[in-house]
Amino acid sequence: MDSAYLHNSIFNIELKRRELELQDLTRTEVKRRFEDNFRVFSKKSAFTCLCCNKPVNMNLTKDEGRPFYFRHNDESECSYSENTRTYDKHVSKLEDKSKKDIGLTIFREILEGELKPYNVEIERGFHYKKKLSFITDFIIKFVNSEECWAFDYFTAIDQGLTSGRYARHLSKRMKTYKEEGFKSFSFVDYSWLSFLEETNKGTLLTAETYVTSKTHEDDLWDKFLEGNVQGDLLNFFMQVTGATMREFNTRNIAYVDVFNRLCTIFRFIPTSQHDRNITFYKLSSSEVPLTRALSMNADQNHFVLSKENEDDKRNEFLKELTEQKKQFEIEQQKLIYEQERIRAEEERIKQEEEKRRARSKAEEAGRLKQRQRVQELEYEQMEREMQEIARRAELRPIEVHPDGWNYRTKRQAQYSNFTYQQTPTVSNYENTEDKIDKKKKEKVREVLLSHPISGELYIDGDTKYWRKVVLKWINENQSVDTLTVSLQMIIGYMKSAGISFNQNDKIVKYPIKDFLELYAKTLKAELKQKIELTVQE
Ligand SMILES: [Zn+2]
């Protein structure tokens, strides 16, 4: 107990101690001053309990910082002594003691000044004439009515965060105040305010939620929000705030900066609930001097706390939200346009690419066709040459060795002195025998160009073309009755003639080999011409 009656006035031993300490007296000097001036009154039982009137004894503790106190002489308990013990226990366990001491001194001074005209008694909570399980910092009693206000300043709201102990403590405390018939006012130290201007959102610890309150102004906000934030606008609000709550439940919390003597009322709606805290969305906040906040309202039933009537703020809130929604929709529309533009652009590029590819494919096909035509023309030329060679072979003079004849035919003049087997005249060349021969050769050519060859589909392009190319190669490389073929070489020859394959060379060798065999077989069958065919890899 820090107070006792002395000569019908309240003597606060702690207040006195602090006064002396402020005069720069040491603990020992302070104690001596008390011993010299007041010990004799204690001995004469002049100090009596504020609660039960029993004589109390003055106790001066030795240790620095510890409070001086009174105790019943008979060491018995009354509600005052018990409440004091409960209060001290809670403060030392759950509060920032030094901050609380300073804060309560300031609060007391302001409360006494502001409430002076209203016939109220401002008393420390532990002076309550009834034993309580939770002791408020101040009790404000209205002398002319039953009304009683509980006033608390919370300094360390994060206590027992993980265990949730402090939250439970505050929850029980508020319930007890209500049961006891107190109207409760809670002020949280400003250092606990956590709010982000950019998102308009903040966090309240579960403990803090128990010291929020709901006033008439909050009810007005609820009605306003329910009436104006509906349908699309409500959906938009839920979306941008990430809110999960089912209804608007406006509340407020009072933060106090005791050093600057300022009070900030934060009005908010809880938007989502988490394990140890809630996320809130700020509706308004007003910072007023503590003296203004703690002055009596017009109805004399509440502190003023904030600037009264927030109609303008509500309209401003709605205007801003509507504008924000409009802006958001414009942005969304822009985004959709931009996406469509990108898609169209991609489609255009794709189509152009396809056109380009088709064009280059057509050009390639054209080039291939041209190349094949050139090859065909070359082949026809070669065919004519071949026929000429064959014709001349038949004209070979007996004296000339066949190996030498083919070569020499190119220098026709050299053979003018040889005796020809036949007279080479144009008219003779067209004789009946020649006609039969020509027919046979055409048949051979027909067979060679059309007889099915297995594995031919490994070779791209017209089936006649590649056969013609191979025949051309044979003509260039065949001696009279022997034909030695290197498949690798002939494949190279075919490639240089513009032929492509859809299988590897090793596989392509099979149809080529078959064709060579067909060639030898057909020549033998149709022309009675025996060719010694040697096929090399
Ligand atoms: Zn007592």
Ligand 1 geometric centre to CA of 113 (Å): 29
Give pLDDT tens digits for 54-68: 999 999 998 887 889
Centroid of ligand 1 to alpha carbon of 127 (angstroms):
10
Q: At what angle do helices 463-477 and 432-450 cross, to 10 degrees?
A: 120
The per-residue pLDDT for range 476-491, each reduced to its tens digit, is 888 878 889 999 999 9
At a CB cut-off of 8 Å and minimum separation 6, what does 486 contact? Answer: 536, 537
Among 29-33, 228-232, 422-426, 520-524, name the one with the lowest average pLDDT. 422-426
Going from the Cα of 182 to the center of ligand 1, the distance in angstroms, rounded, reads 23
**Average pLDDT rounded to a whole number, residues 177-191:** 93
For the segment 343-387, what is each residue's pLDDT rounded down to a tens digit?
Answer: 999 999 999 999 999 999 999 999 988 888 887 887 788 778 777
Mean pLDDT of 339-344: 95
CA of 47 to the centre of ligand 1 (A): 11
Report the C-alpha gap between 97 and 447 in whole angstroms.
Answer: 115
pLDDT over threshold 80, residue 432? no
What pLDDT was estimated at residue 413? 47
Q: Compute, in angstroms, the gap from residue 141 CA to the centroid of ligand 1.
A: 20
Measure 86 CA to ligand 1 centroid, in angstroms.
15
| Gap from CA of 239 to ligand 1 centroid (Å) | 59
Q: Residue 515: what pLDDT?
A: 93
Q: How far is the CA of 52 from the centre of ligand 1 (A)?
A: 4
**Residue 104 confidence (pLDDT) above 50:** yes
State the pLDDT at residue 404: 63
| 510 phi, psi to nearest 5 deg | -60, -55
Q: State in Å: Cα 48 to ligand 1 middle.
A: 8
Q: Over the range 412-435, which residues count as b (16 or more CB within 10 Å of their CB) and which as e?
A: eeebeeeeeeeeeeeeebeeeeee
**Percent of the chain surpassing pLDDT 90:** 55
Centre of ligand 1 from the C-alpha of residue 186, in Å: 28
Please give the structure tokens belonging to residue 98. 């030094």
**Rounded Cα distance, 168 and 410, in Å:** 119
In one-letter notation, the amino acid at residue 407 is Y
Running DSSP on this structure, what letter comes out for residue 305? -
State the distance from the centre of ligand 1 to the C-alpha of 14, rounded, in angstroms: 17
Residue 405's pLDDT is what? 57
**Ligand 1 center from residue 55 Cα (angstroms):** 8
Q: How far is the CA of 171 from the centre of ligand 1 (A)?
A: 29
Return d(Cα 194, Cα 485) in angstroms, integer: 92
Q: pTM above the 0.85 mark?
A: no
Q: What is the mean pLDDT of residues 192-216?
A: 92
pLDDT score, position 63: 86
pLDDT tens-digit readout, 264-281:
999 999 999 998 899 999
202 SS3 class: strand
Give the position of tokens 């590029």: 349
For residue 38, what pLDDT is reported?
94
pLDDT digits (tens, 9 = 90+) for 390-426: 677 677 666 766 566 555 444 554 445 555 555 444 4
Hey, what amino acid is at 185? F
CA atoms within 13 A on the CB side of 396: 16
The mean pLDDT of the chain is 88
- Interval between CA 46 and ligand 1 midpoint (Å): 14
Q: How far is the CA of 99 from the centre of ligand 1 (A)?
A: 28
DSSP symbols for 34-55: HHHHHHHHHHTT-EE-TTT--B
Average the pLDDT over 311-318 and give the result. 93
- Ion ligand 1: residues, CB within 5 A, are 49, 51-52, 78, 80
**How far, in Å, is the centroid of ligand 1 from the Cα of 89?**
18
Identify the residue whose tokens are 């400003």: 190
Convert the pLDDT of each residue in 210-248 to its tens digit: 999 999 999 999 999 999 999 999 999 999 888 998 899
pLDDT at 423 (0 to 100) = 47
284 beta partners: 267
Residue 428 confidence (pLDDT) above 70: no
Gap from CA of 77 to ligand 1 centroid (Å): 6
CA of 234 to the centre of ligand 1 (A): 59
Q: Which range is least confidently modeled, 43-57, 158-172, 335-349?
A: 158-172
- What is residue 364's predicted lDDT score, i.e. its pLDDT? 92
pLDDT at 45 over 90: yes
Q: Give the pLDDT confidence score for residue 373 in this predicted structure.
A: 84
| Distance in Å, CA 470 to ligand 1 centroid | 128
Name 195's bridge partners. Answer: 202
Dihedral of CA 134/135/139/141: which sign?
positive
* pLDDT beyond 80 at 333: yes
Q: Which of 86, 121, 63 minimizes the C-alpha distance to 1?
A: 86
Q: What is the pLDDT of residue 425?
A: 47
pLDDT recorded at residue 388: 74
- CA–centroid distance, residue 49 to ligand 1 (Å): 4
Rounded distance from Cα 254 to ligand 1 centre (Å): 35
Q: HSE-up of 54 (CA within 13 Å, CB side)?
A: 16
Query: How do 120-124 and 138-142 pair as beta strands?
Result: antiparallel
Q: What confidence tens digit (pLDDT) does each residue in 121-140 have?
A: 999 999 888 888 999 999 99
Model confidence pLDDT, tens digit, residues 84-98: 999 999 988 888 888
CA of 81 to the centre of ligand 1 (A): 6
